[in-house]
Each structure stands twice: as C-alpha cells, then as structure tokens.
Amino acid sequence: MPTAPVTDASPLIYLARADGLWLAQVIAPTILVPRAVAEELEAKGQNDVAVQALRGTPWLQIVEPVPPPPETRRWDLGRGEAAVLAWAHSHPGTLAILDDAQARRCAKSLQVPLIGTLGIVLRARSAGLIPAARPVLKRLVAQGMYLSGEVIEKALALAEE
C-alpha cells in the first residue's frame, strides 16, 4: 500500500498564499513534507503564511530524509525536490506533488507518479470541493505562480469552464 503523498515547497507556498491549502486534501488526508522542504519553508521566516500553515496544519507531516536514488544526481534539483523524489522513489507508488519542470521530468524518468498545484485544483473542481477553478487559478497567479495563458485555458477546458 502506498504511503501518503509527498510534497515540495512550491505547492504548499502557492496554495497557502491563495487561501487554498485545504484543497491539497483532495489528494489524501495526510500529506508528507520532507525535512529539507520544511527547512526551505522555515527559512522564509515565522511570519510567512506557508510557514504558519506548515506549523499549524496537523495533516502536514514532516518526514526525515531517505537516501536519494543515484539517478537523481544528473538532474539539477534543489534540496527540496531531491528529497521529495528520494522519498517517493523509496516508497513505490507514492505520489509526488511537484511544480518544478526539471523535478517533474526526473519523476517521470524514475516512474514516480506526480501531480502539481494545477492538478490539485483540477481534482478539487472535479470532486466538487470548489464550484469553479478559474478564481483559484487567478489567486494562484496573483500570488506569483507562473501559469501561461495557454496552460490556464487548457486547465479550464479540462474543468469544463
């Protein structure tokens, strides 16, 4: 049986800043946060909304590092992305929550299942947790998440909006 999904920092940051962290629970009731990701978030300072969310959200569970697979060395990954992929790779079937393009390519090469922030929003819309994806996507973009107009339009088409 797969473990809970494991997340990188950017999905937590963008969802927390857009008041949508709760949407991540459409994936699973518990989300794992590697220690390296927690440290990356905590470097932002205790007043950062994502840091406060990490500390105050009981379903976000910090996990200790596992050794990275040797295959990840050839990818230019940050500590957080590497930790997410190391955890997911060492726990087969674990879903990795990643936005970084390079990390997503690495996940695919390792055959690690993945989803990103946009995928979480689309799943939440499909599950009826939100009435529309468009307002959430607008908030994510307003908080600094880069989504091209083409990606937004494709996502809204998938959401039948």
Range of 47's domain? 6-118
Domains: count for the chain = 1
What is the domain-level CATH number for residue 101?
3.40.50.1010
8-27: burial string, b at 16+ Cβ within 10 Å, e else: bbbbbbbbbbbebbebbebb
Residue 135 inside a domain? The answer is no
Query: Given this model, what pLDDT does residue 6 score?
Result: 98
Torsion sign (Cα): 94, 14, 59, 121:
negative
Does 158 fall in a domain?
no
Does residue 141 lie within any of the structural domains?
no
Q: Is residue 89 situated within a structural domain?
A: yes
pLDDT digits (tens, 9 = 90+) for 93-149: 999 999 999 999 999 999 999 999 999 999 999 999 999 999 999 999 999 999 999
46 in a domain, yes or no? yes
Q: Are 107 and 114 in contact (CB under 8 A)?
A: yes
Say if 156 falls within a structural domain.
Answer: no
Give 2's pLDDT tier (boundaries 50, 70, 90).
low
Domain membership flag for residue 60: yes
pLDDT, tens digit (0-9, with 9 covering 90-100), for 19-51: 999 999 999 999 999 999 999 999 988 999 999
Instruction: Examine residue 50 and state whether it is found in any structural domain, yes or no.
Output: yes
